[in-house]
Structure 1
Amino acid sequence: MATENNSNFSRRGFLKASSLASGGLLIGFNLFTACKQKAEMPIDISKLNFADFNAFIKIAENGMVTIFSPNPEIGQGVKTSMPMIIAEELNVAWKNVVVEQGVLDTENYTRQVAGGSQSIRFGWDALRQTGATARQMLINAAAAKWGVSASECSAKEGVITNAKGETLGYGDVVKEAALLEIPENVALKEPKDYTIIGTKAINVDIDEIVSGKPLFGLDYKEEGMVYASVLRPPAFGQELESFDATAAKNISGVVDVITIGEKARNLLNSEKPGWSVKLSSSDKVVVIANSTWAAMKGKKAIKAVWKEGTPLESTEAHDKELVKLLDGKKFRTMRSDGDVKKAFAQADKVLERTYESPFLPHNCLEPMNFFASVDDAKVRLVGPIQTPEDLATAVSTMLDRSLEDISVKMTRMGGGFGRRLYGDFAMEVAEIADVIRKPVKMVSSREDDMTTGVYRPAIKYRIKASVKNGEITGYQLKEAAVNGNMYGLIPNFFPAGAIENYQVDVASLKSNITTGAWRAPYTNFLSYAEQSFFDELAEVIEKDPVQMRLDLLQKVKGTKDDKIQYSPERLEGVINLVVEKSGYRTPKEGVYQGFCAYYCHNTHVAEVADVVMENNKPVVKNVTVAVDCGIVVNPLGAINQIEGGVVDGVGHAMYGDFKFKDGMPDSSNFGTYRLIRNSESPKVATYFVENNLSPTGLGEPTLPPAGAAVSIAITKATGNRIYKQPFTKNMVAKEIIG
């Protein structure tokens, strides 16, 4: 049985046109604003085409369906899963669907963003409405052609059937459908009737990826395009004083050497710099050449003199200042329940621990790059970006151009992990193109990416808990982070609501080192700190760590606190599932297991890591994962995201380390920066909690619990607890690290 859509759907958010040169029906649906009554209809829909309207379904007369995916594809699979949702409600065979990447459309979309694991969650209802409305239009057209009621007709895999058994393909009625009124209150399918959602769909780009066809920003080329390589300050806090480009200009292939920076500074001084705030305020030297190789070679030949603009910082100094912040009183309290001071004063026992994490680079496989072409009529931007709308707005401000002059075409991204939220590299090429007035692509080297990038901030957490009569009576979390880290939701994650006296305080150490979102922002390290602390706290109160969490969750059930973000029932569900599937209660001989349960990015996850001792060193062998993310749209893509998040979380917790000295990073390439290797990657077994709840994110939620589960398992294997990442450099027992 179908369900009627009860969303506040506006007919004006759904557009159709039949004037395609190739024939067929063009159905446009405002995916993220269709539920708003103020969604405006274009003045003349007959002029809609591929170039200026991307949020649509195109149905050809041969029955083939093209679905344009609006959000940036960063490897999280939305270019496959979002069209799957439309195709499901459209009732078309997935094999007859062609998916294409949409362009930025600020008129009709909101949140064309790849970040926060939110694309499917935010798009779920509107995407379903897109397909269902298109399906009903086609059924209505077929019914009119047969002279029967639409209620007597049904659609399956692109074929409409009436009560007599007569059939028409979608392509047979596509022209008639274009002339009909857009229906309201269309029926949405019940989950039990899904035929596409919940099936394993291969990545729609896989053939192009494995065959090396152009998909990524690095692949993009245009006639007459030149290449740019940017020389940025070698240390954070430095500014360009002078340079000599004589040697660079003598290199074969180098076309010109210019400087940029003035327009970027104007943007930084504007009221709304957006994500582009990560731009350096220094002038930069840019080598223009007819190849990437010549441009990079020319950059190395530049003789530049740099002056110190602000103090040059070092990791050692940061560590001392962060400790001062933890010891001080200049905190911002983000949540305060009860009276933690009183709870600590009356406690039988107080446990206090400090956890530390380093800076981390993003290290996307595809280095930062972007294309720009600027002339008096148009500013065209093409490349891998997680925040295309913000980029367009920032370029408009920086170049003093109308927003209507700016177009952004998104390419597939070879990794992002938060780095491509920040459009600094795209802003640079826009400024370059405005100076030289030629189509140009800026390409960074691995060294550029690692030494002049945006980093996960170094953080210290101090966690304190009080125990009275064997019960947890108070809990205080203090955070000190370089450039700040916390934001409003995290103080309302577990254990908020479960402990009567509960307080979260944050403090920030200002730094000129650019920091920002790194995969699973804020929670990527916090989970390890809090969950490791909970394991030790369970030991103090002599309670099973799993049972301790389950008992705390009982106190949150039925809460009327609408600030609480997690569901105690759903968190309890993944805990019970992972305990069952991992054999946590009965581990094999020689296997040490660490347990962690965590909620972030709207998804509940529990993990158990299996560690064994090999050559007197702990080795992570397996990780069992239980996930409650609601309806799983594409199980194949979901498992890929889950396993990737776990391996990434294990790898960075075990090995990731990055330091600064006098404002300069201590690593510039993979030769000195340790990443997890294939042979070190654990086997991951994934289990889903099955329900019919709306889907939530999967790109990030499995990363945070991985580090905690591994650290707890290592503690069981070695007898020593770890309070600092990376684990391999901070295990206490000398025989383990020796």
Structure 2
Amino acid sequence: MSTLNQTSRRDFMKIAAAAGGGLFLGFNWSDTTAAPVVVDAKQIAAGSVKFNSYLSIGSDNIITIVSPNPEIGQGIKTAFPMVVAEELDADWKLVKTVQGKLDNAAFERQVTGGSGAVPHSWERLRKAGATARHLLVNAAAAKWGVPAAEITTADSKLFHKASGKSAGYGEFAEAAGKLTAPTDIKLKDEKSFKLIGQSVRNVDNKNIATGKPLFGLDFYREGMLFAIIQRPKAFGFKLKSVDAAAAKAMPGIVDVVTFENSVAVVGKSTWQCKKAREVLKIEYEKAADLESSEDHNRIFSNLMDNGEATVRRKNGDVEAAFKSAAKVIKAEYQCPFLPHSPLEPMNFFAHVREDGVELVGPTQTPDRAREAAAKITGFPTEKITVEITRQGGGFGRRLSADFAIEAVHVSKLVKAPVKVIWTREDDMTGGTYRPAVRYRFEAALDKNGEMIGYKLRGVGINSGNPTREDNFPSGSVDNLLIDSVEHKSAITTGPWRAPITNFLAYAEQSFIDEVAEAAGKDPVQFRLALLEKAKKSPAGEVKYDVDRMIAVIKLAAEKSNWGKKKGVHQGFSVYFSHRSYVAQVGEVVVEKGKPTLKNIIAAVDCGIVINKSGSLQQVRGGVVDGVGHAMFGNMTFKAGTPDQSNFNGFRLIRMNEIPEVDVHFVDNGISPTGLGEPALPPAGGAVANAFYKATKQRLRNQPFINEEAFKGIS
């Protein structure tokens, strides 16, 4: 382990010193077995300690911790200190958080993605808080001359009931800082939690509401330049020549530079750069096939039948099962490319100096930005610092580092600090997109309506493996084959919120409803019967928790009063992703002959809920995101050029189209699992299955608005 970089340490010390000093704990995010360690503040300042995060308690009772993971709206900057405060019995109003800078040698997982931040840090944070409380209790016991076991804590105060003595944590912080931390610490029983599970406001709410500079777009450095970049307008083109004379002559323009496949206009304001970009004369030449959406349909059809498939999972004798089947059900589902379209477009600041590189901006993967900067500049990574700003959305887009790479290139070329800013059109047409995918499902039923065979083939465009071969219904069908085929394209793709499962869940859950109907069975009972099969006589390895999935199915059915509401058409969906389980029931009501989505009832098992209000918003946001993109989201291409470049052409869900979202959490006491993404995948299936109940027409392609069965509905 190494220490935090100088910038992080300086920020922490500034806050801790203002609090008057006191107790300093170091703890390791990368090792759940390592105990927190008491350190001297001078050691932190000198950089001579070998842990990677800090907790301090000052003489003024202020509690400060370093949070290493980027805050992208999922609430970890609030959840992390809540966990510490719970074990510490702290007064929440006295807890402060410092955003840690990049230090990949110290932080094991300084990434926001995959809904993994809280599961990764849960036990580490609890140990830090519990250790601090233990030290304070023992410091007070020594001064008061009483047994430590007789001292209780609450709201950042220590109490000895027998003697009537009490004191704030700050009074004993310095003495606690001179004690040795225990190597093993007892954590609270989850049933005694007081703060965890409550609704707590996001720690940045006030600053966001009052317009304080938090986000990458807010960042400003005196003397910095701005850059707007022209990239090829079509995927499959490369830069041939540039005539920048007219652009360079425009007011405020400092330079026009080229690198890789891009042209950067650099100037004193974003507007001046944007106007100058419009007069650039650029020639491109073809470097790859220029694909259109019509081409993709032909590609899907060809590869579905003739593509060389990679087998992802096979159980039993699939061909024999289908030959003996009393009934075979087949269906295909397709989804388009989708842009991420976060509210804050891509942006990044870079200053390539003679002695190193400074990077500042919104990134989900700060280490990726630093590694790229090292390759471009030749500096070792220890000479490159990355400051992480709050991020105005990302949904996987900011896992890439292309916008940071651009800033480094431009700064190096113009020898000045530069901030690259993308326009909305740049953001929507510059990639990277959710991959377009088509799935073909086949199911074999015996004479009793039992599913004895299952096939799934996924064909994706730059999707890698477009299946999740070990997810349900795998393990519940004796004879199963899942394979995939990939088409390589010049259109760039990348992770999009709940990668792959964002569409696969809809397709799988819609198809399971089709199979249940063919079997003459209730969709919920059909799923439960399959899960009981996976539990009692599994077909191959089962890599999901059957009991947790059964529990959310039953909870969603109960809370929605499944199948018992008159005049309400209900659709069911359930999915496992990012270690969590979510079941949803969509409810459609026909009003004046028009089917309308009214409600989504969601049952969620994400383990212990840390911040109830934040968790509710994560689920509701995921549902709305899933519903909106399933119904309306569509990115199409003509000869490699995106047809949609802004929200006037790319349809988002509107306020009056958002259903009520009723959320219920499973209380099972297990450690927290992911929550930023798991609510999105089941949403499309719940909606599609509900609309089928209302219209008797299947929605097999996204966006639904382009389907004949959906036209006239919205």
- TM-score when scaled to structure 1? 0.91
Distance in 2 of aligned mates of 1:620 and 1:200: 28
Q: Aligned in 2, Cα 1:215/1:735: closer, same or farther, shift over 3 Å?
A: closer
The answer for the alignment partner of 1:607 in structure 2 is 584
* Match for residue 93 of structure 2 among 95, 106, 119: 95
* Match for residue 115 of structure 1 among 113, 116, 139: 113
The answer for the alignment partner of 1:648 in structure 2 is 625
* Match for residue 129 of structure 2 among 128, 131, 135: 131
Q: 3-state SS of the aligned residue for 2:535? A: coil
Please report how far the alpha carbon of residue 68 of structure 1 lies from its aligned counterpart in structure 2 after TM superposition.
2.3
The answer for the alignment partner of 2:225 in structure 1 is 226
The answer for the alignment partner of 2:656 in structure 1 is 679
Unaligned runs of 5+ in 2: none
Please report how far the alpha carbon of residue 200 of structure 1 lies from its aligned counterpart in structure 2 after TM superposition.
0.3
Distance in 2 of aligned mates of 1:28 and 1:71: 19
Q: 3-state SS of the aligned residue for 1:555? A: helix
* Match for residue 146 of structure 1 among 139, 144, 147: 144
The answer for the alignment partner of 1:695 in structure 2 is 672
Q: Aligned in 2, Cα 1:522/1:50: closer, same or farther, shift over 3 Å?
A: farther
* Match for residue 31 of structure 2 among 30, 34, 56: 34
Q: Aligned in 2, Cα 1:609/1:406: closer, same or farther, shift over 3 Å?
A: same
Please report how far the alpha carbon of residue 21 of structure 1 lies from its aligned counterpart in structure 2 after TM superposition.
4.3
Q: Aligned in 2, Cα 1:680/1:485: closer, same or farther, shift over 3 Å?
A: farther
Q: 3-state SS of the aligned residue for 1:187? A: coil
AA aligned to 1:88 is E
The answer for the alignment partner of 1:506 in structure 2 is 484
Q: Aligned in 2, Cα 1:83/1:700: closer, same or farther, shift over 3 Å?
A: same
The answer for the alignment partner of 2:454 in structure 1 is 475
The answer for the alignment partner of 1:273 in structure 2 is none
Q: Aligned in 2, Cα 1:26/1:517: closer, same or farther, shift over 3 Å?
A: farther
Please state if 1:188 is matched with 2:163: no
Please state if 1:728 is matched with 2:701: no
Distance in 2 of aligned mates of 1:151 and 1:373: 55
Q: Which moved more, 1:317-326 or 1:475-484?
A: 317-326
Unaligned runs of 5+ in 1: 1-9, 262-281
Distance in 1 of aligned mates of 2:541 and 2:169: 47
Please report how far the alpha carbon of residue 25 of structure 1 lies from its aligned counterpart in structure 2 after TM superposition.
3.2
- TM-score when scaled to structure 2? 0.94
Contact 1:18 1:26 in 2 (8 A): no
Q: 3-state SS of the aligned residue for 2:534? A: coil
Distance in 1 of aligned mates of 2:383 and 2:181: 32
Distance in 1 of aligned mates of 2:443 and 2:658: 34
Contact 2:104 2:367 in 1 (8 A): yes
Q: 3-state SS of the aligned residue for 2:171? A: helix
Alignment of structure 1 residues 325-344 onto 2, 5 Å: 325-344=303-322
Q: Aligned in 2, Cα 1:39/1:482: closer, same or farther, shift over 3 Å?
A: farther
Deviations 1:29-64 (A, max 9, x none): 444213366999999961437999972122111101
Distance in 1 of aligned mates of 2:513 and 2:712: 24
* Match for residue 574 of structure 1 among 511, 528, 552: 552
Q: 3-state SS of the aligned residue for 1:535? A: helix
Q: Aligned in 2, Cα 1:497/1:562: closer, same or farther, shift over 3 Å?
A: closer
Distance in 1 of aligned mates of 2:147 and 2:107: 35
Please state if 1:618 is matched with 2:595: yes
The answer for the alignment partner of 1:436 in structure 2 is 414
Contact 1:25 1:58 in 2 (8 A): yes
Count of paired positions: 702
Distance in 2 of aligned mates of 1:295 and 1:546: 57
Distance in 1 of aligned mates of 2:310 and 2:674: 29
The answer for the alignment partner of 1:465 in structure 2 is 443
Please state if 1:521 is matched with 2:519: no
Distance in 1 of aligned mates of 2:79 and 2:191: 18
CA RMSD of aligned residues (A): 2.5
Q: Aligned in 2, Cα 1:322/1:611: closer, same or farther, shift over 3 Å?
A: same
Contact 2:576 2:678 in 1 (8 A): yes
Q: Aligned in 2, Cα 1:512/1:40: closer, same or farther, shift over 3 Å?
A: farther
The answer for the alignment partner of 1:376 in structure 2 is 354
Alignment of structure 1 residues 57-456 onto 2, 5 Å: 57-162=55-160, 163-261=162-260, 282=261, 284-456=262-434
Q: 3-state SS of the aligned residue for 1:301? A: coil
Q: Aligned in 2, Cα 1:106/1:62: closer, same or farther, shift over 3 Å?
A: same
Q: 3-state SS of the aligned residue for 1:474? A: strand
Distance in 2 of aligned mates of 1:169 and 1:154: 12
Distance in 2 of aligned mates of 1:562 and 1:197: 38
Distance in 2 of aligned mates of 1:68 and 1:41: 15
Please report how far the alpha carbon of residue 340 of structure 1 lies from its aligned counterpart in structure 2 after TM superposition.
1.0
Q: Which moved more, 1:458-467 or 1:310-319?
A: 310-319
Deviations 1:95-142 (A, max 9, x none): 111223221122321111111111111111111111111221222222
Please report how far the alpha carbon of residue 182 of structure 1 lies from its aligned counterpart in structure 2 after TM superposition.
1.9
Contact 1:593 1:609 in 2 (8 A): yes
Q: Aligned in 2, Cα 1:657/1:49: closer, same or farther, shift over 3 Å?
A: farther
Distance in 1 of aligned mates of 2:38 and 2:493: 41
Please report how far the alpha carbon of residue 158 of structure 1 lies from its aligned counterpart in structure 2 after TM superposition.
1.2
AA aligned to 2:252 is G
Q: Which moved more, 1:304-313 or 1:136-145?
A: 136-145
AA aligned to 2:411 is A
Q: Aligned in 2, Cα 1:127/1:521: closer, same or farther, shift over 3 Å?
A: same
Q: Aligned in 2, Cα 1:375/1:593: closer, same or farther, shift over 3 Å?
A: same
Distance in 1 of aligned mates of 2:241 and 2:570: 58
Identity %: 46
Q: 3-state SS of the aligned residue for 2:93? A: helix
Q: Aligned in 2, Cα 1:560/1:341: closer, same or farther, shift over 3 Å?
A: closer
Contact 2:25 2:36 in 1 (8 A): no
Please report how far the alpha carbon of residue 613 of structure 1 lies from its aligned counterpart in structure 2 after TM superposition.
2.8
Distance in 2 of aligned mates of 1:563 and 1:245: 61
Please state if 1:25 is matched with 2:22: yes
AA aligned to 1:255 is V
Distance in 2 of aligned mates of 1:221 and 1:638: 33
The answer for the alignment partner of 2:542 in structure 1 is 564
Please report how far the alpha carbon of residue 377 of structure 1 lies from its aligned counterpart in structure 2 after TM superposition.
1.9
AA aligned to 2:182 is P
Please report how far the alpha carbon of residue 144 of structure 1 lies from its aligned counterpart in structure 2 after TM superposition.
2.6
Please state if 1:535 is matched with 2:513: yes
Contact 2:235 2:640 in 1 (8 A): yes
Distance in 1 of aligned mates of 2:391 and 2:340: 13
Deviations 1:428-453 (A, max 9, x none): 10121122222211000000001112
Distance in 2 of aligned mates of 1:289 and 1:727: 44
Please report how far the alpha carbon of residue 154 of structure 1 lies from its aligned counterpart in structure 2 after TM superposition.
2.8
Misfit runs of 4+, over 4 Å: 16-21, 36-45, 49-54, 558-563, 733-737
Contact 2:247 2:253 in 1 (8 A): yes
Please report how far the alpha carbon of residue 148 of structure 1 lies from its aligned counterpart in structure 2 after TM superposition.
3.7
* Match for residue 605 of structure 2 among 622, 628, 633: 628
Distance in 2 of aligned mates of 1:625 and 1:366: 29
Distance in 1 of aligned mates of 2:452 and 2:95: 57
